Amino acid sequence: MVHLPRWQVILIVLVVLAGVIYAAPNLLLSRDQAAQMSDAGSVLPHQQISLGLDLRGGVYLLAGVDLDYAFDKDRENLQSGVSGALSAAGLANEVGILGDAVEVILANADDVSQARSVISDFDTGISVEDQGGGILRVSFSETALRERAAAIMAQSIEVMRRRIDETGTREAAIQRHGDDRIIIQVPGFDDPRRLKEIIGTPAVMSFRFVNENLSPGDRIPPSFEILPADETERRAGFPDRYVVSKRIMVDGDHLTKAFQTFDQNNQPAVGFSFDTLGAKQFGDATRDNVGRIFAIILDEKVISAPRIESAITGGNGIITGSFSVQSAQDLALLLRAGALPAPVTYLEERTVGPGLGADSILAGEIASVLGLIFVVVFMVGAYGLFGAMASIALAINLILLMAALSVLQATLTLPGIAGIVLTIGMAVDANVLVFERIREELRNGRGPVTAVDAGYRRAMTTIIDSNLTTLIAALLLFHFGSGPIKGFAVTLSLGLVTSMFSAIMVTRLMVVFWLRRRRPQALAI
């Protein structure tokens, strides 16, 4: 134990240097400077510890995702797909939605077996039940519904994350809570109303033709529907409602770019670009329908209804209306981030001011500094020079912990600070075990070198057992806990790992180096 291979010495030094380098941005850079380095793609370390809502202030939202809405849409798609598949197979049918299933009524009851085969091939996640009399009941299996719900929640979280990131806000914490809820915490954001508008807007966009021969007061054929004009489109000389085709000319999924710009009258507008397929569809549709009006529809509202003056073949265009610069930026943001798969409602909202976070940080700093001072005083007073080495290792442990939080971008919360304070006390626990074991070996008549060797070797099992059991408890807290409990578990887990390294490796390196240089005949410990 008193002999360290060269590779171990090099490894310890490199780890400590890496810790210093990656912890330095927290002390040397402001958050704005770090953000600028991140935007510029700097290769130099610039990541800082991500502060949680309780430390930095911001907005907390608990959102509910309407899974039933998404399931209803899936049943509508299933209805359309099953009807088309049966018709393609030459089976006369009538398909409708009945409750949570799709009901198929066959014109010929003898076609049941063939129809079941066609429907089963259409989708592997459905079950088909024969109700008798040529009637089939088609529904999604429980496994398919669970997988679909998980996919909807994952997609909702990803879309929300992209939308929030587009605002320039970093360090947002978005996580699933239960079966159909999402917790959104955005530190540093002070406008909950705008945040809800950005997150909760479905942003489903499509391009469809307007029927100028029909007015909203006429009898509307099934292939058309009446949609209201958005507030940005309600201007003098423009209708409040439009009769638009249900057939989509181009789907908004083909958008690749959306950005705030200005029209020829220098008014705010939203520019957009399609992908290759969307550009072709848009170009063909506008080429064949010059002179017609088409509607740009967002969330079942007409946000713009321009007339096609000529074929638009470049795949680019702009959306005009009564936009402000901010509303045009927000619309472009929503289109870039994509559509939510289901509507979102807000069940809880909290706003935390930065003043409370500043007080919490100050209190945490005071607690950490006092804890560090008391531990250092105790260690130096109890173990002399060896205690001073342990104190140096404790400082290195805090540096490594800060670096780990920065690199992993783990969010530091007030309970996380409690975990750091606890880590300060636990970090010297291993050293206390080793030093007490060295004292015992010295009392048994061993020399300095053999006492140190025996102390580290015989205390190692106890150190690993105690830290491992605590680490298991911390990991269980992280797995089963949420919010503040997870914050505490993260810093405690990282602190245990870094404290094991600093106590076993760093302190031992200093002790071994001192023994080799001084070769003492006795140990003052």
- Domain with residue 107: its CATH number is 3.30.70.3400
In a domain, 525, yes or no: no
In a domain, 330, yes or no: no
Residue 299 in this model has a pLDDT that exceeds 80: no
In a domain, 40, yes or no: yes
Token pair 């430390």 is at which residue?
55
- Do 68 and 104 fall within a single domain? yes
- Helical spans, DSSP H, in 167-207: 192-200
- Do 139 and 228 fall within a single domain? no
pLDDT category at 448 given cuts 50, 70, 90 is: confident
Quote the pLDDT of residue 302: 86
Structure tokens at 56: 């930095």
In a domain, 1, yes or no: no
Decide which of 53 and 259 is more confident. 259
pLDDT category at 483 given cuts 50, 70, 90 is: low
pLDDT category at 257 given cuts 50, 70, 90 is: confident
Burial of 190 (0-12, 13-18, 19+ CB in 10 A): middle
Name, in order, each residue with C-beta under 8 angstroms of 77's C-beta and a sequence gap of 6 or more. none
How far apart CA 229 and CA 301 sit, in angstroms, is 5
- Do 313 and 168 fall within a single domain? no
Domains: count for the chain: 3
pLDDT category at 523 given cuts 50, 70, 90 is: confident
Contact of 365 with 412, CB cutoff 8 Å: no
* Listed residue (277, 311, 280) closest to 294, CA to CA: 311
pLDDT category at 232 given cuts 50, 70, 90 is: low
- Do 198 and 274 fall within a single domain? no
- Do 96 and 196 fall within a single domain? yes
CA separation, residue 406 to residues 243, 387, 479 (Å): 55, 29, 21
- Do 154 and 222 fall within a single domain? no
Quote the pLDDT of residue 42: 67
* Listed residue (208, 225, 213) closest to 286, CA to CA: 208
- Could you tell me what percent of the chain has a pLDDT over 90? 8
φ, ψ (nearest 5 deg) of residue 469: -65, -40
- Lowest mean pLDDT: which of 25-29, 128-132, 473-477? 25-29
User: How does DSSP assign 51-81, residue by residue?
Assistant: E-HHHH-EEEEEEEE-HHHHHHHHHHHHHHH
φ, ψ (nearest 5 deg) of residue 228: -75, 155
- The range of the structural domain enclosing residue 309 comes to 205-320
In a domain, 370, yes or no: yes
- Domain with residue 388: its CATH number is 1.20.1640.10
- Do 50 and 111 fall within a single domain? no
- Do 183 and 308 fall within a single domain? no
- Domain with residue 305: its CATH number is 3.30.1360.200
- Do 137 and 177 fall within a single domain? yes
- Do 374 and 408 fall within a single domain? yes
Residue 127 in this model has a pLDDT that exceeds 80: yes
- Do 190 and 276 fall within a single domain? no
- Do 148 and 279 fall within a single domain? no
Contact of 329 with 323, CB cutoff 8 Å: no
In a domain, 261, yes or no: yes
pLDDT in tens, 319-360: 777 778 887 887 777 777 666 778 888 888 887 766 666 777
Quote the pLDDT of residue 35: 67
In a domain, 298, yes or no: yes
Quote the pLDDT of residue 39: 61
Sign (positive or negative) of CA dihedral 382, 388, 393, 394:
positive
